[in-house]
Amino acid sequence: MLKELQEASQMSQTDVLLKGLEVLGDYVAAESGESSLGEKLRELERVALQHAEEIRKIRKKEDVIRELVKELKDVDKIIDRHNCDPSALIQILLEIQAEKRWLSKPTLMWVAERLGVPLSRVMHIATFYKAFSLEPHGRHLVQVCLGTACHVRGAQQLLNKVTMALGIKPGETDSDMKFTFKTVNCLGCCALGPVVMIDEKYYSDPSVDEIKKISEDLE
Partner 1 sequence: MKKLTSREDLERLREKLKREAEQVKRWVAVCSGPGCHVHGSGEVAEAFAKEVSEQGLEKEVKVIATGCHGFCEVGPVAVIFPERYCYTRIKAEDVSEIVSETLKDGKVVERLLYTDEASGQKILRDEDIPYYKFQQRLLLGQHLHIDPRNIGDYIAAGGYSALAKALFDLGPEKVLEEVKAANLRGRGGGGFPAGIKWETTRNAPGDPKYVIVNADEGDPGAYMDRGILEGNPHSVLEGLIIGAIAIGSPQGFVYVRQEYPIAVKNMQRAIDQARELGLLGENILGSDFSFDVKIHMGAGAFVSGESSALMTAIEGRVGEPRPKYIRTAVKGVWNKPSNLNNVETWANVPLIINNGADWYTNIGTDKSKGTKIFSLVGKVRNTGLVEVPMGVSLRRIIFDIGGGIRGNKKFKAVQTGGPSGGVIPESLLEIPVDYDELDKVGSMMGSGGMIVMDEDTCMVDVARYYINFLSDESCGKCVPCREGLRQALRILENICAGRGKEGDIELLEELGSFMKDASLCALGQTAANPVLSTIKYFRGEYEAHILEKKCPAKVCKELISFFIDPEKCKACGMCVKVCPVDAISGGKGLVHIIDQEKCVKCGSCFTVCPDKFNAVIKLSGEPVPEVAPGTKIKKKAKGEKKCKK
Binding site for partner 1 (CB under 8 A): 85-91, 93-94, 121, 124-125, 128-132, 146-154, 156-157, 160-161, 164, 184-186, 188-193, 195, 202, 207-209
Inter-CA distances, 150 with 146, 183, 188, Å = 6, 12, 10
> Which value, to the nearest 10 degrees, does the dihedral of the CA atoms of residues 96, 98, 104, 107 take?
0
Q: How far is the CB of 148 from partner 1 (least distance, A)?
A: 4
Cα separation, 110 vs 93, in Å, equals 11
Closest separation in Å from C-beta 179 to partner 1? 18
Cβ distance to partner 1 smaller for residue 27 or 128: 128
Closer residue to partner 1 in complex, CB, 51/169: 169
Cα-Cα-Cα-Cα dihedral of 23, 29, 32, 37, to 10°? 80
Q: Where are the beta strands (DSSP E) in the chain?
A: 140-145, 179-184, 195-198, 201-204
- The nearer residue to partner 1, 7 or 209, going by C-beta atoms, is 209
CB of 219 to partner 1, least distance (A): 23
154 to each of 148, 150, 181, 204, 207, how far by Cα in Å? Answer: 10, 6, 18, 11, 13
Q: Between residues 37 and 88, which has the closer beta carbon with respect to partner 1? A: 88
Residue with smaller CB distance to partner 1, 41 or 190: 190
CB of 218 to partner 1, least distance (A): 19
Q: How far apart are CA 105 and CA 207, in angstroms?
A: 39
Question: Is 165 within 8 Å of 208 (Cβ atoms)?
Answer: yes
At closest approach, how far in Å is the CB of 74 from partner 1?
Answer: 19
Nearer to partner 1, 58 or 186 (CB): 186
Compute CA distances 207 → 160, 162, 212, whole Å.
Answer: 10, 9, 9
196 Cα distance to chain centroid: 25
Q: How far is the CB of 22 from partner 1 (least distance, A)?
A: 55
